[in-house]
Amino acid sequence: MEFLNASLVNWSKAQFALTAMYHWLFVPLTLGLGVIMSIMESLYYKTGNEEWKKATKFWMTLFGVNFAIGVATGIILEFEFGTNWSNYSWFVGDIFGAPLAIEGIMAFFMEATFISIMFFGWNKVSKRFHLMSTWLTVLGATLSALWILVANAWMQYPVGMEFNPATVRNEMVDFWSILLSPVAINKFCHTVLSGWVMGGLFVIGISAWFLLKKREISFAIRSMKVAAIFGVIASLLLAYTGDGSAYQVGKHQPMKLAAMEGLYEGGNGMGLVAFGILNSNKKAYDDSNNPYLFKIEFPNMLSILACRDVNGFVPGVKNIIDGGYQLNDSTKALSFQEKQIRGKAAIESLTSYQQAISKKDTTAAAFHKEQLKENYAQFGYGYLEKAEDLIPNIPTVFYSFHFMVLLGLYFIALFALVLYYTQIQKIENTNWLLWLSLLSIPLGYVAGELGWVVAEVGRQPWAIQDILPVQAAISGISTSSVKITFFLFLFLFTALLIAEIRIILQQIKKGPEVE
């Protein structure tokens, strides 16, 4: 694998980020709204109340519009692995391709099969079978998310594989360790729950609009009650899985955690920053500048979060680069230079192995294969030139993480308020809360995008943690072709987004239909 020019790398990253961020505008609402409409249909099935059927069909229509456009952007996203990231696809395709293949074969076909019954089978199949089809459609969408998130989690924490120097590919040796890795489980739960929160925000916000317009009062209050209860539960679970995700980041991606907290110099009993403003002049090896212009922190909380120990040691950026601190397995952390030496040794061993094979020297081949195996854990460091290459964009990760957390706390409070006023007070007379609910819909999208910024920007420079840097993963194509497709996708996705918004707004203004 050879490095290609920086412009090509940056444009390829920008194009993939563009596609992923547009795709994520549609996925959360699909996951959350799907569960809410399924709950409403379950209430219709149980009570026989036609009001629940009317509510289900209204939200189902909005679900369908969002689902269709989400599928379109998702297909393009998967194709980009072959067009723009062919080195990556070759290097780990045997592993990364498996979850995506399962997603396409099982989950997507499951959705495609039952979504038609869900939309067109109301008067053609029994109530029980229709309810089952609705839940299976939502289950299919959730399983799609599962396999994609398993693939992404493997990039963050590569397990269950073995490198084959003969083919220069990583091969899967333990499917279950990939599927059930703690990183994959936490990522799946946290991401799906963020979609549930988005669904709850969307339903209470649109319902609030109906109440502000004094339309469909019964429908809107019913919808808000379901969405508020659902949202409170989902947002509390989201906070719990967020804690688990941060713990896994601390174990397997300490540089990302350091960026999330703006932590340059680590230590024992570290505090968790609740709010802070970073010093833009601070550099990793600059001892003269304070990392923060201002901060408020909770004492010892970062150590508890990352180590489950009030006095646990949390490494900062400088500690990770310098190494020497004790790891959980009682070994000493390697410095960047030590990892770089081992990475280059692994690359040289791979070259020597291939030469020995071509000469049919089995003894030398076995020796170099063993050397490669010993150093393979640091393989990717051999492609990095300097220690600063390890550091992601700290301000971007730090502010994204903290704004995401603040929004998460705000959502808990909002759902609790809406639940209180729907149960105890007359929410239709509480205009300030209705406007707050309506205006909070975009904040759900912002929080979801910020989460992905933390996850993906925070792991730079790695396409696969410690194994493959981004600049070694891209395709050998012209920069101009990536630029052209970038702007084509920008135009296409923007047009799709505008179309979805217009269609959804038309459906909302139309309101729920009476049978």
Residues 169, 72: Cα–Cα separation, whole Å: 30
The mean pLDDT of 184-194, rounded to a whole number, is 95
The mean pLDDT of 124-136, rounded to a whole number, is 93
Structure tokens at 109: 């076909």
The answer, yes or no, to whether residue 428 has pLDDT greater than 90, is no
Residues 281, 255: Cα–Cα separation, whole Å: 19
Instruction: Give percent of the chain with pLDDT exceeding 90.
Output: 61
Each residue's pLDDT tens digit, 145-174: 888 899 899 999 999 999 999 888 989 999
Q: How confident is the model at residue 478 (pLDDT cuts 50, 70, 90)?
A: confident
Q: How confident is the model at residue 226 (pLDDT cuts 50, 70, 90)?
A: very high
The mean pLDDT of 323-341, rounded to a whole number, is 88
Give the SS3 label for residue 324: coil
Query: Which segments of 28-114 are extended strands (E)?
Result: none
Q: What pTM does this model have?
A: 0.92
The mean pLDDT of 491-512, rounded to a whole number, is 91
The number of beta carbons lying within 10 Å of the beta carbon of residue 136 is 19
> Which among 172, 170, 182, 80 has a CA at the least distance from the CA of 380?
170
The mean pLDDT of 57-62, rounded to a whole number, is 94
The answer, yes or no, to whether residue 1 has pLDDT greater than 70, is no
Q: How confident is the model at residue 2 (pLDDT cuts 50, 70, 90)?
A: very low
The mean pLDDT of 303-322, rounded to a whole number, is 91
Q: Amino acid letter at 172? A: M
Residues 183, 186: Cα–Cα separation, whole Å: 5
The answer, yes or no, to whether residue 370 has pLDDT greater than 70, is yes
Query: Chain centroid to CA 513: how far?
Result: 36
**Pair 245, 187: CB distance under 8 Å:** yes
Least confident among 80-94, 314-328, 346-360, 424-438:
80-94
Instruction: Give percent of the chain with pLDDT exceeding 70.
Output: 98
The mean pLDDT of 380-389, rounded to a whole number, is 91
Each residue's pLDDT tens digit, 440-460: 999 999 999 999 999 999 999
Q: How confident is the model at residue 359 (pLDDT cuts 50, 70, 90)?
A: confident
> Which among 280, 269, 228 has a CA at the least distance from the CA of 437?
228
Each residue's pLDDT tens digit, 387-424: 999 999 999 999 999 999 999 999 999 999 999 999 88
pLDDT confidence of residue 254 = 93
> 326: which DSSP letter?
B
Least confident among 110-114, 126-130, 411-415, 501-505:
110-114
Residues 43, 219: Cα–Cα separation, whole Å: 13
The answer, yes or no, to whether residue 3 has pLDDT greater than 60, is no
Longest Cα–Cα distance in the chain: 84
pLDDT confidence of residue 121 = 87
Give the SS3 label for residue 341: helix
> Which among 284, 289, 243 has a CA at the least distance from the CA of 266?
284
